Structure 1
Amino acid sequence: MSRLVILSVLFALAGAASAQAQKAMPAAPVVIESLHEEEVSSSQAFVATVMPRRQAVIGSAVAGRVSEFYFDEGDAVKEGEPIAQILTETINLQIAAAKAELELRKAELAELKNGNRAEEIAQSNAEMMSAKARMDYLIARRNRTTDLYETRRVSSKEEYDEAVSAAEAAIEAYKASEAHHQMMVKGARDEKIAQAQARVNVQEAVVGELEDRLKKYTIRSRFNGYISRKHTDVGSWAEQGADMVDVVELDEVDVTAYVAEHHVPYIPMGATVRVEISAIPDKIFTGTVVAIVPQADVRTRTFPVKVRLTNEMENGVPLLKAGMLARVQLPTGGTKQAILCPKDALVLGAGKASVFVTAPGPDNSLIVQLVPVQLGITSGNKIEILGSISPDSKVVTLGNERLRPGQPIRVLEEKEAAAAPTSTSSSPR
């Protein structure tokens, strides 16, 4: 038997086996949808980089020894959560001393506001009465001595002068005692109370300043993010203003592409665009143009265009990471006719895209064929596909996860193609 005959027999047997296997496969229930052809903006892929939406280098506001470090690189932190701690023994002593001084100032103020005690006023009144009694006695003595000296001439000049001087001193002592008693009754002057209140306010400010400084001994994150780098660790001396950690926010990321100046006028703000990540070939991301930085690199004449994506979590780790290589499909002017396919119809694997297209099978049945396609511009919930596929084809949009080429299908629902919004006016999905 010749070699050609053997090959013919083998091919016949393989075809029969394939047909038999096709009949053996059960019909898979699916939902299909017609493709849609319309005029869309021309697009071009640009190399881009995944960048965190926000990133910050958090430094130490005070100098001191690092006593605690609560996170390692890669850990997630929440807004306001402590990251590291500086030793606080010295400032705690300063705060304790300042608070004690504040209590003293408050006590002095309270003493002035409360006025003198009743016992103190009674004592002052008794001293005043004693001074008055002595004054009355010395005045009477002066009067007697004056009569003896001036009328009867039996008293000496020295005795007269002494009596007069003692009486005058007693009068002044009584006046002083009376004034002091009146001050005791009235209490402190308003000006004295105001001065004491001012001393309390000053000391409260000192305590507040020290407590605010104490807060700076705890290093905190200002937003939810991830520790991307530690600049120091426990036991190290941190200078004031020294870098402690880098924190990046990855709940949303910005994919930044540098676009030539003649393409920039055709990129609308808010446009929905497709993003491919080289490290994640089995997934297509959709983002929104949020910024076109109006400052070009003068050497390349390219402008940064930022496309914002909502990140996804996988095993507690953000799927998109800062620094990843990406490709962004951006409109670049002009229009063209394009075949638009529902995104749900795409089957991704090994960095390639395919769709299951319906085809006639044996006995008036329907089967599916896997057709490789290339992807173009995104338009709402549809995406441009390029390849060996007809605009009037129908593709599987639900139930395509476990289909195999040539497998029979049972159509549960057939959707008509709906016109997709243009890429220049579409909103984020």
Structure 2
Amino acid sequence: MAGKFKLSKKMKKWILPAAVIFVVAAGVGGYFLWRQANTAQAAGASGNTLNTAQVRTGDLTLSASGSGTLVAGQQADLAFPVAGKVASVDVTVGEKVTQGQQLAALADTSALTAAVAAADLNVKLAQQTLDDLTINAPVTLAQAKVAVVDAQEALTTAQNSIKKTGMARCDTDTTEAYKDRYDFLKSSENEIVDNWDGKDADYYLNRVVPAKDETVKALANYVYCQGYFESEIVTSESDLTGAEVTLKQAEADLAALQANAGIDPIELAKAQTALAEAKVAYEQAEENLAGATLTAPFDGIVLSVAGEAGDTAGTGAFISIIDLSHPRVEFSVDESDMDKAVVGNAANVVFDALPDDIFTGKVVQVTPQLISSGGYQVLQGVVQLELADAADADKLIDGLNASVEIIAADAKNAVLLPLDALRDLGGGEYGVFVVGFGGALKLQTVTIGIQDDYYVQILSGLEGGETVSTGLVETK
């Protein structure tokens, strides 16, 4: 699996032959060359030899390898809106279909047709209710004005009818007349009672009891005329409060109607909502009626058929179709390669069943979460394949296993240097010892590009065919 860009950790000692002529560069490069030259002179007597390699021209690719499974670009599971007897099934599994093509149909659609008619009527009724608000707006506004006048009159009546503690019910003359009447009857009652011997029952029943009754009635009239009962006071106050609230509401209703051309905004909102809901129900009813005939929503291949003509179908999936003209591959790569699995990166896909065909595509989705698989942490994503023609689509079936290579970066016809020949000079600079005439070494600074585990791209400083030193090999 290709590695991420990083310098080799296997920095070898350099030992140069004693006869080498050195070209010393200034600064860090000059010191590095001087040190290597001394090392070479000390090692020359030991019989060590210099390893070399050629700079070549070729292609370099940084990629991540993983596995994947082909899935359809889209899938539709088609079902009838209601259960019923199947009139016809017009396709078979594996058959190619085009968008809009009839696939199957129910025999009896009378209930669905009736539902459309009922829904259409509900739309018309809801529309009429909405229209009536506009038509009746002048009448509604006039009624609101009358309601305000009635509320004002009711408030005036309630205000005039208010009763309070200490307020007399009758005028003074009437109250005093009731008082005098009570006093007279009470005096007469006392006289009659005084004349009773306490034994004569007829006297008691015919004189005492009537006298007492008259006195009680007279007292009740006197008390009644003196003021109002608590219940009457509470009721009058409640009536006044109710009249005030009614007037405020009537005035608010009138103001709302005047501001909306005589249409109650709340009733308008209700009517509009009812009409919208009725239209949705109508559209659903029409869709259900249309759904009694299953048609292909896109070009594709029939994946499954759940019955045949004459069968009773439920409301579950009856026919499924898939689109393999826009296939996708769901892939997994090791977490160490997550830097390469980036949306937009190119990908090469080879299916196990089609080893001679290379399909290309692009990463269109990467799941932002690692998944545990087989004891490893993997990153999952989706590659959208780019088919050259319909013939490629004909080769594919849902569920094919594949090897997936995601291309993070590549360089075509690039100058490539063996990684062992590259030296880190520090400060972001790199150098290479170029082998010249007679084995002489020259430190050449270079600009590098992408790198894998073996080669690094040279952007400037070297050309293909040059010989460079990669280190020493002991010969003793």
Q: Mark the structure with the bigger radius of gyration.
A: 2
Higher helix share: 2
**TM-score, length of structure 2 as denominator length:** 0.38
Higher strand share: 1
